Amino acid sequence: MIRTVEGMFDLLTPLISSPWLYLIVLAAVAVDGFLPIVPSETLVIGLGALSATGRPNLAALAVAVAAGGMAGDRVSYLLGRKAGRRAARGKLAPARAKAERALLKYGGAAILFGRFLPYGRTATTMTSGSVSLPRDRFRLFSALASAAWAAYAIGLGRLGGATFAHSPLIGAAFGIAIGMTLASLFALVDKRRRPARPIAIDPVPAGVDMEMTITDPAPAAPVRELVAAGSR
């Protein structure tokens, strides 16, 4: 981890005092919203640790992170809206299924909760588009989630930077380690909160024709209609 952070610092150090740094941060956080392979959390926590020394500017960093979060969420929402139910395929399928259940239960608030779960951001925002969550409500919770995550990630970096004031590198690694630990705990709590429930199947009475007892179930209401109705 130390080597990863050190490599990142080597690349960003020349830009610490440049306005381009904030544009890079905005872009990284935005892309991470629909292509979750960009290590934006590591970047933000590391810069948060450095901000304890006075550079980069804390307020400008927070604005860049929040703006990048909202921009990426918007792209993910549009991709989900275009892909529709096809978005359930691939590696994000399990996360998307959880996101769909959360949106049905909590509405737009699931976007806020999902921001702190592994793959939760992409899953909830893309699913919001595929089930047609009202755009105004989506923008509201996207802004809240982006601001909360910016404060969280930068705060972890500042904590590490303050704890190891003599070495921003170690401070950044410390903040990243805390972030990884908390993400694992959030995921574990989320997993245990939904225990698998076995489905009880009543035995068919003797003498009853199985074929006569099987009927086509009534079609369930579309998920998108349920989410939209529950979000009004």
In a domain, 214, yes or no: no
Q: In sequence order, what are the residues at sequence separation of 6 or more whose Cβ sits closer than 8 angstroms to the Cβ of residue 74?
A: 139, 142
In a domain, 17, yes or no: yes
Residue 199 has pLDDT above 70, yes or no: no
State residue 125's pLDDT score.
93
- Alpha helices of 39-119 — where are they, by DSSP H? 40-50, 58-83, 93-106, 109-114
Query: Would you say how long the chain is, in residues?
Result: 232
Residue 147 has pLDDT above 60, yes or no: yes
pLDDT band at 226 (very low <50, low <70, confident <90, very high): very low
State residue 217's pLDDT score.
41
**Between residues 158 and 93, the one the model is more confident about:** 158
Average pLDDT of the chain to the nearest whole number: 78
In a domain, 202, yes or no: no
- Segment 148-166 shows an average pLDDT of 89
Residue 47 has pLDDT above 70, yes or no: yes
In a domain, 216, yes or no: no
* Cβ atoms within 10 Å, residue 35: 13
Q: Which two tokens stand for residue 41?
A: 């959390």
In a domain, 210, yes or no: no
Give residue 118's region: left, alpha or beta (phi > 0; psi -120 to 50).
Answer: beta
In a domain, 138, yes or no: yes
Q: Record the pTM.
A: 0.74
In a domain, 166, yes or no: yes
In a domain, 205, yes or no: no
Domain count of the chain?
A: 1
Q: Which range marks the domain in which residue 70 is found?
A: 2-194+221-230
Q: Where are any strands of DSSP class E within the chain?
A: none
- Segment 147-174 shows an average pLDDT of 87
State residue 44's pLDDT score.
92
Nearest to 18 by CA among 48, 53, 61, 49: 61
State residue 211's pLDDT score.
44
Residue 57 has pLDDT above 70, yes or no: yes
- Segment 48-56 shows an average pLDDT of 84
Say what percent of the chain tops pLDDT 70.
72
CA–CA separation, 210 and 205 (whole Å): 9
